Amino acid sequence: MGFILALIAVLLTYIFSPFLMLYAMFTAPSIKAINRYFFKIAISVDQMGNVIGTAFFNHTVIKENGHKFGNPDETISSVLGRNYQTNTLTLFGRSMRYYLDRIEPNHCVNSIGK
């Protein structure tokens, strides 16, 4: 049952998201409100990626004793930041953190708990 519900949720999200995003943009009271709206979307997608990628990320990004991926309330960056602080990232994980931190300095550590 979980597989079917996930499949339906993903399909409906991809079908309706473009319309819903355009609607939000045209009805938003300000550019600042639009920016906040898209920031929330980015966080949500990141959290979804953390859950969807649980098995892959836990196997390739962190060492066995690292802070695990899969918490739906945590972003990928936050997990990378936690594991960076405890030195439990693999080479692949360190590479991911490196590139994210190039986009925004200290992005991964700063994202912990957000």
pLDDT the model gives residue 41? 95
Q: Is 70 exceeded by the pLDDT of residue 92?
A: yes
pLDDT the model gives residue 85? 97
Mean pLDDT, the chain, integer = 95
CA-wise closest residue to 28 among 14, 39, 12: 39
Q: pTM, whole model, 2 decimals?
A: 0.84
List phi, psi (to 5°) of 29.
-75, -15
The stretch 68-96 carries a mean pLDDT of 97
For 40-76, the pLDDT digits (tens) are 999 999 999 999 999 999 999 999 999 999 999 999 9
Strands (E) across 6-70 are located at none
User: Which amino acid is it at 51?
Assistant: V
β-partners of residue 89 are 62
Q: Is 90 exceeded by the pLDDT of residue 37?
A: yes
Torsion from C-alpha of 15, 35, 106, 69, nearest 10 degrees: -30
pLDDT the model gives residue 113? 79
**Every domain of the chain and the residues it spans:** 2-110
> pLDDT above 90 covers what percent of the chain?
95
